[in-house]
Amino acid sequence: MKEPFRRFRGVAAPLPLTDINTDAIIPSAFLRSETADLARGLFARWRFDDGGRERSDFVLNRAPFRCAEILFAGENFGCGSSREAAVWALQRFGIRCVAAPSFADIFYENAFRNGLLVALIEPADLAAMIASLEAAPEDAQVEVDLESQSMIRGNAARIRFAVPEFRRTALLRGDDEIAATLREAEDIAGFIATDRARHPWLHRAIEATASEPPRSAVTE
């Protein structure tokens, strides 16, 4: 189980770039040790120069965006390799929601499995939010409401975002993949009982195979 995700207000950072890949999100150098600081690794090549000093022009190095919990990005966010650490790095930094017009499929699923909200928004809404944040960065607070699937900044118009219903329900409940499956335990048991009656030979074969010792334990 994870902490339920319902509604929160946080600083939103604009990153209007398309095709941001997972190697940019978390460079491979930060994946070589279990103790690597994934929060520092987030966008490391963009945030720091070769000497490890912050690049002042990068959005997450500027106030108030260095405390961002929401990221507004361009299309195809999270493309490239399938590294799940891209999601972990965002979360370790403090990002709780990424909003974009589209996401790479594997990143999209990895995000939901780890409790990161990835919100699909219309390109026009993204452009309006980016312009608003860049025009008045001193007021970068955005409210994210998963129950109503909406976002609002100050007195601006509320924008809607899309999220698959079963993923939305899991986030609201705080369910991980195991908890979500266990909620269907009664239906699963009913299906197995019905299928056992229809195909007894198949279940006998499955049970016989399951009872066999591992091959490594069989002596010649």
Q: Quick check: 172 pLDDT over 70? A: yes
Place of tokens 């979360």: 91
> Cα 28 to the chain's mean position, in Å?
19
pLDDT band at 176 (very low <50, low <70, confident <90, very high): low
Give the confidence band of 178 by pLDDT, cuts at 50, 70, 90: low
Output the pTM of the full model. Answer: 0.81
Mean pLDDT of the chain: 89
pLDDT for 220: 46
pLDDT of residue 180 exceeding 70: no
CA dihedral 96, 138, 145, 172 (to 10 degrees): 20
Structural domains in the chain, CATH included, are 7-176 (3.20.19.10), 184-217 (no CATH)
Q: How far is CA 93 from CA 3, 30, 33, 158, 190, in A?
A: 17, 14, 18, 26, 43
Report the run of H or E that residue 207 belongs to, with start and end: helix 200-211
How much of the chain exceeds pLDDT 90, in percent? 67
7 pLDDT more than 50: yes
Give the span between the Cα atoms of 11 and 141, in whole angstroms. Answer: 5
- 112-166 residue pLDDT tens: 999 999 999 999 999 999 999 999 888 899 999 999 999 998 777 789 999 999 9
Average pLDDT over residues 79-100: 96
Handedness of CA 39, 41, 47, 51 (dihedral sign): positive
Q: What are the pLDDT digits (tens) for 68-80?
A: 999 999 999 999 9
